[in-house]
Structure 1
Amino acid sequence: MGWREQKKAETRATLSWAALQLSVERGFDTIKVEDIARASGVSPRTFNNYFSSKGEAIVARHLDRLLRVAEMLRERPAEPLWDAIAQSLLPQFEPDTAAAALPIPDAAQWAAGVRMMLTEPALQGELLRAGAVAEAEIAAAVAERTGTDLNQDLYPHLVASLVVAATNTVMAHHLRTNSSVPVERLLADALARIAAGLPTP
């Protein structure tokens, strides 16, 4: 990735994180594009160059993570599929520079705010759209790794659906239980259970 592309990626991540943080702290309905732009140090016009709505901006972080999974799957060496998926997915939950620039406040209040924000119909629709886009890309990467036919075989689509579902379920579980266990550890456990065939606990 060249310098210009890297700068664009950083701006996109910063805008998305600012939209998320402001929505959690103030409420989704109360914030405006101008607020997000100001918190990110850019103009509203710059925001509109990246996103069509604040809902799209919030969900962009989740979508970008999942799209990077597909990219990394294509770059992984030959290894068992679920090992490759774990090595591609888990790094996406490491802290990034955009999040570090706008630190998370009190963890319990943050979790409560995220739960409330996720009830917004506009965000639910954006999350569904993002999931569908990510599943398509992950399925294509899985088909390439496994030599299956993306258009004819169920397998790559089933695997992609499981990856996205596991990610969403772990994040929801983390919020629901106020778990002190990091998301990446919960996700590693979920992937291990799937790889083992989801045996009864």
Structure 2
Amino acid sequence: MTVDQEAAMGRRDRKKQQTRAALITAALRLVSERGVDAVTVEDISDAADVSSRTFFNYFSCKNEALTGDAIRDNHRLLERLAAVPADVPTIGAVRLALEETLQEMQANQELWLLRMQVVDRNPSLLPRLVASGVETERALAGLIAARTGVDPDTDVYPALVAAVASAACRVAAARWFASGGHRLLTELVDEAFATLAAGLPDPRPIL
């Protein structure tokens, strides 16, 4: 591949990323204003200045633009977890694998807080998020099983770690949203994972 071809490919990739971001932003802002049932794919496409056909090049449906692509996100998380050295304890390894995603969320704080507001105000989006969470936990448990050398069908450890790690992220994100973004998401996640790594000790003083 020539330098010019590489540059052209880089421009195309950036254009795709910009178009995807524009569609997500348009979808969230419109639904925030009108509610999910009052917004169509055509509305979103018009707001992003693209065709409906272009919309479906990026998303399978309106709700995917609002809640995210679980398959894409899972693939990225698993790649990062697989790259964490094997001698890192499992909870710490999962936290390291999440770092890039958390930094991206922090950098795009306004958009992510808007997404959380949209979900909070439109409960019809919750089933998709729950299904997405199940897929993420299943994929994460499989890699944790491979990493620790245990059988996921007979050992509770992989599924349990995946579940509590997901719960820690949800709790941290909820606290981030409740603070209006005034607290750093990464700090809130670190706090949650540190508590997990300590074994969820009882915060009450021992008498």
TM range, smaller chain: 0.7 to 0.9
Match of 2:178 in 1: 176
Q: Gaps spanning 5+ residues in structure 1: where?
A: none
Give deviations 1:15-42, integer Å, cap 9, x for gaps: 3344233323443233221232234443
Higher mean C-alpha deviation, range 39-48 or range 56-65: 56-65
The structure 1 residue matched to 2:90, chosen from 74, 78, 81, is 81
Identity across aligned pairs (percent)?
A: 35
Letter in 1 for 2:110: I
Please say if residues 33 and 44 of structure 1, whose CA atoms lie closer than 8 Å, have aligned partners that are also in contact: yes
Deviating more after overlay: 163-172 vs 184-193? 163-172
- SS at the partner of 2:68? helix
1:58 is aligned to: 66
CA spacing shift, 1:91–1:175, aligned 2, 3 Å: same
- Offset of 1:155 from its aligned partner? 0.9
Q: Give the CA deviation at 1:68.
A: 2.3
CA offsets per residue over residues 110-154 of structure 1, 9 Å max, x none?
Answer: 66x843542423210110110011111111111111111123221
Q: Distance in 2 between matches of 1:74 and 1:177?
A: 33
Distance verdict in 2 for CA 1:40–1:138, change over 3 Å: farther
Farther off after superposition, 120-129 or 52-61: 52-61
Aligned pair count reads 192
SS in 2 for 1:118: helix
Task: Pick which of 137-146 and 31-40 moved more.
Answer: 31-40
Structure 2 runs not aligned, ≥5 long: 1-5
Query: Is the contact made by 1:63 and 1:131 (CA closer than 8 Å) also made in structure 2?
Result: no
Structure 2 counterpart of 1:38: 46
**1:188 maps onto 2:197 in alignment:** no
> TM-score, length-normalised on structure 2?
0.76
CA-atom RMSD, angstroms?
Answer: 3.2
Segment drifting more, 188-197 vs 67-76: 67-76
State which structure, 1 or 2, has the greater radius of gyration over its C-alpha atoms.
Answer: 2
Contact 1:55 / 1:123 at 8 angstroms: preserved in 2? yes
Question: Normalized against structure 1, the TM-score is what?
Answer: 0.78
Structure 1 residues 95 and 22: CA distance shift in structure 2, 3 A: farther
The aligned runs of 1:109-188 (5 Å cut-off) are 114-115=116-117, 117-178=119-180, 180-188=182-190
Structure-2 change in CA distance of 1:88 and 1:56 (3 Å): same
Deviation at 1:73, TM superposition (A): 0.7
**1:71 partnered with 2:79:** yes
Kept in 1, the 8 Å contact 2:91–2:165? The answer is no
| 51-60 vs 159-168, greater mean Cα deviation | 51-60
1:77-113 alpha-carbon deviations (Å, 9 max, x no partner): 12121221111112202237xx86xx838x9xx66x8
Contact 1:139–1:150 (8 Å) recurs in 2: yes
